[in-house]
Chain A
């Protein structure tokens, strides 16, 4: 989709994603922390009075914190009322969709500057409670009612991909290893250690040693969550928030000489239940959203240097790299195992560690991906900077693929 005005990303901030350090904070407090960092990142400064609207991605503060109505509450706590504040809920794609809505609000001429945020405070619930809450993003009657958990749905996708396209769990393990390696270079990541480091630490407690990554990932310290996916195939349960500030191209220069531009956006929906999809091994909504975003940006998959894709499970990254057109169908696993998605690969996938290592506070994820593109395209990503980035792509998936939002960013 091509927007009728240029849209610039002029600032970005995020909390670290983590399970423990935010224990004493509520969602609104995490949002404020991210928003203040976003404000501080605007090169020539910005007054919050310039912000004309807030769009906030938030999946389920209702269940996690017994708190609904989080957009107005967040605006209130940041001191930016009385601007319109709107919550966006599309499961794990909530804030990726919020970015598109913010961009369209500017393109419509209604506003020149908007704030887009995402927040999730998940750790107030037990693992069982989180499992129940995440499952609300799937078809509650016909999938969850039938016994599927959320990891179970992606596990089922994996069994179909293995059987139909010949990929393997070992290829998924390569994605785990790569994303933890990247996460170790990202000070905002939930997990900041490479797999062998983790293996050593966990092994010491149990008097176990491991020859290599696969030896550890096949061990009892990496239990099966939902066959064929093990614990280290799944993203952790994290708390966090991320915030970006978008401005119309014609006012962006007031705030910075080096904005990042949102060149194309896309969004699509699909049948909610896996059983209603003709092809279980492809997320059709990813293909459609990506094709809109590529068209808007006038680029193709081969032009993308770096991408944050939605790896809530390792199999989801494999699918994404195929459905976004980086690799042919059935070759995504092979590409990962060959290192073609590493920081110095053909296309750097999830240089920030991805959901797998960076963490996945559900509603914050889409904006946290935009934060990463802001850093990558300005050459400010530090230890996990990809070289010569011209175009970056963000791919944010709701649940098992019923919602997908894609953005292409450029300089």
Chain B
């Protein structure tokens, strides 16, 4: 299977976080990339990530994209997974910046939105 966004989101739909690992240098990448960003190799394998990690940066959005209208305030963050790579996603049920910190532990949750499934996160209390 090619390392495309389509494949990535198909996996998310199955509840799996799949990225790439470079066979040459071992660098892990999430989402998957066709070329290793560290060494340029195109010899890559699929790699599954467990979906646990911590918040590196975040915001609580009050002025939304039009497709998110009516859902504000909502939190979105950059999450570093325990395996190394980071990914962006909604942090569910957070309505106020005070509820979250850089370093907060989160785990993946898969949210169906119509045809699509989004990789989101939830605070580990």
Residues on A lying within 8 angstroms of B by beta carbon are 127-129, 131-132, 135, 141-144, 146-149, 151-153, 155-157, 159-160, 162-164, 223-229, 271, 273-276, 280
B59 touching A227 by the CB < 8 A rule?
A: yes
Asked if B66 contacts A128 (CB within 8 A), the reply is yes
Chain B residues with Cβ below 8 Å from A148 are 59, 61, 76, 88
Minimal Cβ-Cβ distance residue in B for A127: B63
Residue-wise interface mask of B (101-115) relative to A, using a CB-CB cutoff of 8 A (1 in contact, 0 not): 111000000000000
Q: Knowing that A129-B66, A148-B59, A157-B57 are A-B contacts, what are 10 other residue pairs whose CB atoms are under 8 Å apart, sorted by A's residue number?
A: A128-B69, A149-B64, A152-B61, A156-B58, A156-B76, A163-B101, A227-B61, A275-B56, A276-B37, A280-B57
A157, A225, A274, A280: the one contacting B62 at CB < 8 Å is A225
In the complex, what distance in Å separates the CA atom of A129 from the CA atom of B77?
A: 23
CB of A147 within 8 A of CB of B63, answer no
Tell me the complex Cα distance, A128–B72, Å.
13
Residue of A nearest to B87 (CB): A275
- How many residues of chain B get a CB closer than 8 Å to chain A's CBs? 35
Question: In the complex, which of the residues A143, A226, A275 has the most CB atoms of chain B within 10 Å of its own CB atom?
Answer: A275
Query: From residue B7, how far is it (CB to closest CB) to chain A in Å?
Result: 13
* B121 vs chain A, min Cβ distance (A): 10
Binding site for A on B (CB under 8 A): 5, 31, 37, 56-66, 68-69, 73-74, 76-79, 85-90, 96-97, 101-103, 118-119
Q: Determine the chain A residues whose CB is within 8 A of the CB of B96 once the complex forms.
A: 227
**Beta-carbon nearest neighbor of B97 in chain A:** A227
Tell me the bound Cα distance from A389 to B5 in angstroms: 50
A159-B102, A274-B78, A275-B87 known; A131+B60 contact, CB < 8 A = no
Q: A132-B66, A227-B97 are in contact. Are A147 and B57 (CB under 8 A)?
A: no
With a cutoff of 8 Å between Cβ atoms, the chain B residues found around residue A159 in the complex are 57-59, 97, 102
Known: A142-B87, A160-B56. A149 touches B97 (CB 8 A): no
- Rounded to whole angstroms, the CA-CA distance of A276 and B87 in the bound complex is 8
B74, chain A: closest CB distance, angstroms: 7
CA–CA, A274 and B66, complex, Å: 22
Other-chain residue from B37, B60, B64, B89 in contact with A227 (beta carbon distance below 8 A): B60
Contact B62 A146 (CB under 8 A): no
